Every structure is written in C-alpha cells, then in structure tokens.
C-alpha cells in the first residue's frame, strides 16, 4: 500500500512578492531622498536603508532556504540547485501525484524569487558602491575641512598672538601715559603753588604801588595847582625878540647877509622878517628874507620883499617866531589857510604852514599840551545845519564830517584860551615868520 505523503502548506508567495515590491519602493524612496538635504544626513539615512535592505535580503534568503528545505528536505542549497533538486524530486512516484501545473508554478515562483534576490543584490551592490563614493567624497570634504580648520586655527593663533602683543603694547603705553600724567600733575601742582605764591607777592607789590600812586597823584595835583597858577600868570600876547642883525647888503644883487650861521642851527629855506631898529613889533616890519646859503657864522639871504618907503639897511633886526637857537618852539596847526589872500582857503595851506615852522627849526604837534608855545588857526569852519531825519545818507555823512571839523576847531580854541596859549591867525603868522607866498600860477 502506497504511503500517502501529506502535502505541506504552500508558502505565502504573494506576501513574499509584496515584501519584495515594498523593499524596492523603499530603496527607490531612499535613492530619491538622497538627492536632497545635507549629505551627512543622506549618508546616514542611506546606511540605515542599506542595513534594512540587507536584513530583508537575509530574511528572503532564510525564506528561500526554508522553501528549499520544505521542497527538497535539504538545507544549505542555493536557489539554482534547489530548483534542480526539486525537479528530481518531482520524478519521485510519490511527488508525481502533485499536478504538473503545481510543479511548474512552484518552479516559476522559485525562479522569480531567485531573480528578485539577484536584482536586490545588484541594487545592494549599487547602493554599496554609491555609499562608498559618498564616503570617499565625505572623506575628502572632511580632509578639506580639517585642512581649513588647521588654517583657521593657525590664523586664529596668529591673531591671538597679535592681540596679545597689542595688549602688551597697550599696557606699556598705558603705564607710560600714567607715569607722564603723574609727572604732569606733580608739575602742575608745583607750578600752581609757585603761581599762588607769585600772585600773593604781586598783590603785595600792587598794594605798595597803589599807595605809591596815591602819593604821586597827590604830588601831581599839587604840581597841577602850581602849574595852573603859573598859567594864570602867562600872557597870551606874542612876545618876539630879534634873532640877529643884517651885516651887509648887496642891493643890486637883491641879497644881504645876517650874523646867523650853522652855529646857530640856521637851515637853507628858512624865512626871516626884517624889523627896524625901533623894536621887533609887527608895525616895524620892513620886509622879508629867505636863507639861500649858510656858512659857519653868516648866512646869505635873498630879499623877497622890501618896503620902498623904509628900505632895509645894515643893523636892522631879523627874526622868525618859529625859530630859536637853543629851544625849539612847539606849534599846533588847525584849520584851512588862505596864504595868498585870494579869499579861498587852500587844501594844502595847513601843510605849507607846517613846512614853514619846520624849516625854522620849530616842532609841530597834533594835540595841545603844556609844552605848546603857539597855536596857528586858519579860517573857522562854518557850523553846518543839521539835516532832516529823512535826508539821504550822503547828506548825513557830509554833515557829520563838517561837524567834526567845526568841533575840533572850537575845542582847540577853547583849550588855547584855558591854557592861555597865544593864537596866531594866517596874517600874523606870515608877518612874524617873514614868509612871502609865491604868486599862484594863472
């Protein structure tokens, strides 16, 4: 009686196929995922997928081994050998009881499983190769990063060294500045004490000077009082004396000689008034001279003007109010002068008057003082009429200038009266100096 072999239950082929398809999809997903993201995360994920794939492959191999064992009853056979053994087993009379279609389907399933395993192995190899390439690239990147890290560390070390040097230099500079500052502070403190002491000394000297000035002011007031008394005694009339005499006359040549020379400080160009022997007064004036040549004791003079009724003779006196052989007379000149008697004051008249004084050895000052001997005043300026408030600027400026001239003239005249200084007008000045104006050009 034939032995009935109990048929083993068929393996879950559909489940195995589904698992293979799932693994393939997972592998494709892993490959797609590897295209993005950071490489380190991709490689880590890829390694995980490879391990999972290898685990799945191992499970399939185990399933194949189990299937082979179930079919052939043998273990440790590869898939191809398992198919051959299965074919031989199918020749067994007992196995022949299995339908041909069942045997063919089982063989196809085994072939399919073997092909799937091969594809999975190929995919695993590709993934492994890709993983190796990625690992090499990562290794190169790691090496480059390491080299860059070394460069950064070297640069950082250099910078730290520079910073340390700078900090050291800064500390040295700070120490030097602190030392210099302390020295300056000590110097300032010392200077401050010296200045304070100097200030105290100066304040003390100032107090002494104040007391001294007070005493001098008292003395000045006393002297001013005495000077005022002296001025009260001063006569305002002009007192003129003879400076020399005429020694010789050459009437045909129009010249004469006077007994004044270099020893008397006479200069060429100096003018002289000639007086009769009755005295040096304006009513006794006979003519005027101008010095042309000067010797040590005598001077040659040109006769500029001579009274026909009272001609110049030897022994007549000569004088110039601006001249003095020892002491220089001091004059103040102010105003406009009509030296030619034309009725029109000349703009240069004041300069001509000053020149006459200087040629005679006199001194011209701008302001009146206690040393002033004479004041020469030209024509009195007309006091201007004050313009209206809405007058043009040019009119206002002209008024101010005219008013300033009028006030200066008035002030000078008042000062002369207060100090009892003699005042000479244009005519008296010309007569007393012997000046004869040259005719104006026509």
On whether residue 399 sits in a domain, the answer given is yes
What are 218's two structure tokens? Answer: 């008292």
User: Is 145 part of a structural domain of the chain?
Assistant: no
Residue 282 CA to residue 162 CA, distance in Å, equals: 104
266 and 328 within one domain:
no
Residue 322, both tokens: 């601006």
Q: Which of 307, 310, 251, 240 is nearest to 279 (CA)?
A: 240
Domains: count for the chain: 3
Q: Which strand ranges, in their side-by-side order, compose the sheet holding 330-334? A: 363-365, 330-334, 374-377, 423-424
DSSP at 282: G
Pair (301, 342) in one structural domain: no
314 class by beta-carbon count within 10 Å (0-12 exposed, 13-18 middle, 19+ buried): exposed
Contact predicate 373/329, CB 8 Å: yes
**DSSP category for residue 383:** P
Same domain, 49 and 110: yes
CATH of the domain at 397: 3.40.50.10190
**CATH number for the domain harbouring residue 299:** 2.40.10.410
Q: Are residues 28 and 128 in the same domain?
A: yes
Residue 228: per-residue pLDDT = 54
**Rounded Cα–Cα distance for residues 254 and 250 (Å):** 6
Provide the residue-wise pLDDT of the chain in tens; the chain has 442 residues. 444 444 455 556 666 767 777 777 777 766 655 555 566 676 777 778 778 777 877 777 777 677 666 666 666 666 566 566 656 665 665 555 555 555 556 667 667 877 887 787 788 788 888 888 888 888 888 888 888 888 888 888 888 888 988 888 989 888 988 889 888 888 888 888 888 898 888 888 877 887 777 677 667 656 655 555 554 445 455 667 889 999 999 999 999 999 999 999 999 999 999 999 888 888 889 999 999 999 999 999 999 999 888 899 999 999 999 998 888 899 999 988 988 878 788 778 899 999 999 999 999 999 888 889 999 998 888 888 988 888 899 989 999 999 998 898 899 889 888 888 999 998 899 989 989 887 665 5
Tokens of 300: 């040659």
Domain end among 290, 319, 348: 319
Residue 424 confidence (pLDDT): 92
Q: By C-alpha distance, which of 173, 324, 343, 302 is closest to 244?
A: 324
Residue 65 lies in a domain: yes
Which residue among 286, 319, 352 closes a domain?
319
Closest CA to 24 of 76, 60, 67, 75: 60
Phi, psi for 376 (deg, rounded to 5): -105, 115
Residue 327 sits in the same domain as residue 257: no
Question: In this structure, is residue 172 part of a structural domain?
Answer: no
Rounded to 10 degrees, what is the CA torsion of 185, 190, 192, 195?
-150
Q: Is the dihedral of CA 360, 363, 368, 371 positive or negative?
A: negative
**Do 430 and 379 fall within a single domain?**
yes
Tell me if residue 137 falls in helix, strand or coil: helix
What pLDDT is stored for residue 346 in this prediction? Answer: 79
* The two structure tokens encoding residue 66: 């189990």
Question: Are 338 and 430 found together in one domain?
Answer: yes
Return d(Cα 148, Cα 158) in angstroms, integer: 15
What is the distance between the alpha carbons of residues 67 and 74, in angstroms, rounded to a whole number? Answer: 10
Other Cβ atoms less than 10 A from the Cβ of 310: the count is: 14
Closest CA to 247 of 235, 237, 259: 259
Q: Give the residue among 230, 323, 312 at the shortest CA–CA distance from 275.
A: 312
d(CA 82, CA 78): 6
Return the structure tokens found at 228: 């005022």
For residue 161, is it within any domain?
A: no
Separation between Cα atoms, residue 83 and residue 77, nearest integer Å: 10
332: which residues sit within 8 A by CB, 6+ positions away? Answer: 364, 365, 366, 367, 368, 372, 374, 375, 376, 412
Nearest Cα residue to 320 out of 419, 206, 412, 244 = 244
Q: Which domain holds residue 80?
A: 13-136
Q: Which of 261, 285, 319 is the last residue of a domain?
A: 319
**Does residue 41 fall inside a structural domain?**
yes
């Amino acid at each position: 009686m034939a032995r009935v072999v109990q048929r083993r239950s068929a393996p879950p082929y559909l489940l195995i196929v589904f698992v293979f398809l799932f693994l393939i999809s997972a592998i494709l997903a892993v490959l797609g995922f590897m295209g993005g993201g950071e490489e380190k995360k991709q490689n880590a994920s890829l390694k995980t997928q490879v391990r999972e794939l290898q685990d799945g492959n191992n499970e399939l191999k185990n399933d194949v081994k189990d299937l082979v064992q179930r079919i052939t009853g043998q273990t440790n056979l590869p898939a191809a050998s398992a198919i051959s053994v299965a074919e031989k087993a199918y020749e067994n009379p007992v196995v022949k009881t299995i339908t041909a279609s069942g045997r063919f389907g089982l063989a196809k399933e085994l072939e399919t499983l073997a092909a799937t395993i091969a594809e999975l192995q190929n995919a695993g190899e590709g993934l492994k190769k890709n993983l190796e390439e990625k690992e090499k690239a990562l290794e190169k990147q790691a090496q480059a990063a390491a080299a860059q890290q070394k460069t950064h560390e070297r640069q950082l070390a250099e910078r730290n060294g520079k910073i340390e040097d700078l900090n050291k230099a800064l500390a040295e500079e700070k120490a030097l500045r602190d030392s210099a500052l302390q020295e300056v502070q000590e110097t300032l403190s010392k200077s401050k004490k010296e200045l304070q002491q100097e200030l105290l000394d100066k304040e003390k000297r100032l107090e002494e000077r104040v007391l001294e000035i007070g005493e001098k002011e008292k003395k000045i007031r006393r002297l001013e009082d005495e000077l005022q008394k002296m001025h009260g005694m001063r006569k305002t009339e002009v007192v003129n004396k003879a400076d020399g005499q005429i020694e010789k006359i050459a009437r045909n040549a129009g010249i004469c000689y006077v007994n004044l020379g270099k020893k008397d400080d006479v200069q060429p160009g100096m003018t002289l008034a000639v007086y009769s022997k009755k005295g040096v007064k304006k009513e006794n004036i006979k003519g005027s001279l101008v010095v042309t040549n000067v010797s040590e004791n005598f001077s040659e003079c040109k006769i500029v003007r001579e009274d026909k009724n009272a001609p110049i003779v030897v022994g007549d006196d000569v004088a110039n109010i601006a001249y003095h052989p020892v002491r220089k007379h001091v004059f103040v000149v102010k105003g406009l002068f009509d030296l030619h008697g034309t009725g029109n004051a000349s703009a240069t008249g004041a300069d001509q008057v000053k020149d006459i004084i200087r040629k005679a050895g006199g001194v011209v000052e701008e302001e009146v003082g206690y040393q002033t001997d004479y004041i020469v005043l030209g024509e009195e300026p007309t006091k201007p009429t004050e313009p209206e408030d809405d007058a043009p600027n040019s009119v206002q400026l002209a008024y101010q200038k005219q008013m300033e001239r009028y006030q200066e003239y008035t002030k000078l005249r008042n000062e002369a009266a207060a100090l009892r200084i003699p005042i000479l007008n244009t005519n008296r000045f010309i007569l007393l100096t012997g000046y004869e104006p040259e005719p104006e050009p026509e």
